């Protein structure tokens, strides 16, 4: 039995300080990390399950509607949450947030010159089923400028937050889209070790695509082991 599969593969994750990603220089830890003993980790706290999710939380094309349909290309994103052995993890809370089709977030700090969509909130959540599967409907997010360096643009992406049994086990990552030319210029994506970057790119799935409604993208999340999805808060 390969016991290394039970360990965190640190070579799959971006460094805590990546000089090309300028804000990490200021917020990254300046001292060695301390391992927290198991007994000090949260043993109780909020338990996330179906009761945490409202009926439209998984559908970002509907959960922000005020007076019409949101603008942009509709997509459906589905995948599985797996452990290091490829086994599905049920009842896992997944949260997503993203920019709208014009590349604008519903946030007071996002003031770049692009329109807000009054019918798109840009956030949602769901819980994995017995097979570890999650599914969201949303609008494909647009690229946006972000000021990290001259003429810097973020690729189209969706943020994912994955919760274990409590908030202390939260992991955060990003999902990108195949063929995006901005990936080659993005310091956040490029900070991920080269061998693991493809794990952040979704794959187009015609079988998941819904005729006349939405294109389908598949994105699996692996929490540990040699094929772990790169996470931002490792």
The active-site residue out of 13, 21, 80, 144 is 144
What is the spatial distance between Cα 214 and Cα 233, in angstroms, rounded to a whole number? 31
Q: What are the structure tokens assigned to 125, written together?
A: 């959540």
The active-site residue out of 21, 80, 104, 105 is 105
β-strands 157-163, 93-97 pairing: antiparallel
The active-site residue out of 80, 104, 125, 154 is 154
Active site residue 112: no
The active-site residue out of 58, 125, 157, 199 is 157
What is the spatial distance between Cα 220 and Cα 134, in angstroms, rounded to a whole number? 9
β-strands 203-204, 93-97 pairing: unpaired
What is the spatial distance between Cα 159 and Cα 98, in angstroms, rounded to a whole number? 6
Dihedral angle at the C-alpha atoms of 176, 182, 184, 189, nearest 10 degrees? -40
Q: Are 161 and 95 in contact (CB under 8 A)?
A: yes
Active site residue 13: no
Q: Are 100 and 120 in contact (CB under 8 A)?
A: yes
The active-site residue out of 159, 170, 226, 227 is 159
Burial level of 215, CB count in 10 A (0-12/13-18/19+)? middle
What is the spatial distance between Cα 141 and Cα 98, in angstroms, rounded to a whole number? 7
Query: DSSP letter at 150?
Result: T
What is the spatial distance between Cα 88 and Cα 66, in angstroms, rounded to a whole number? 37
Active site residue 154: yes
Active site residue 159: yes
Annotated catalytic residues are: 105, 144, 154, 157, 159
């Amino acid at each position: 039995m390969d016991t290394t599969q039970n360990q965190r593969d640190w070579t799959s994750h971006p460094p805590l300080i990546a000089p090309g990603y300028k804000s990490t220089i200021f917020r990254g830890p300046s001292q060695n990390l301390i391992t927290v003993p198991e007994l000090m980790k949260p043993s109780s706290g909020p338990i996330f399950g179906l009761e945490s999710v409202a009926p439209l939380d998984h559908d970002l094309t509907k959960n922000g509607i005020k007076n019409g349909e949101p603008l942009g290309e509709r997509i459906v994103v589905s995948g599985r949450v797996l452990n290091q052995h490829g086994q599905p993890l049920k009842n896992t809370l997944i949260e997503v947030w993203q920019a709208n089709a014009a590349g604008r977030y519903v946030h007071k700090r996002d003031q770049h010159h692009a329109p807000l969509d009054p019918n798109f909130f840009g956030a949602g959540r769901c819980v994995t089923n017995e097979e570890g599967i999650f599914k969201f409907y949303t609008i494909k997010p647009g690229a946006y400028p972000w000021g990290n360096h001259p003429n810097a643009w973020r690729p189209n992406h969706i943020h994912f937050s994955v919760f274990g049994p409590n908030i202390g086990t939260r992991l955060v990552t990003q999902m990108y889209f195949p063929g995006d030319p901005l990936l080659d210029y993005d310091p956040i994506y490029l900070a991920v070790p080269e061998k693991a970057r493809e794990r952040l790119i979704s794959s187009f799935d015609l079988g998941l695509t819904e005729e006349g409604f939405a294109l389908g993208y598949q994105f699996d999340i692996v929490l540990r082991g040699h094929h772990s999805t790169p996470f931002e808060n490792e």
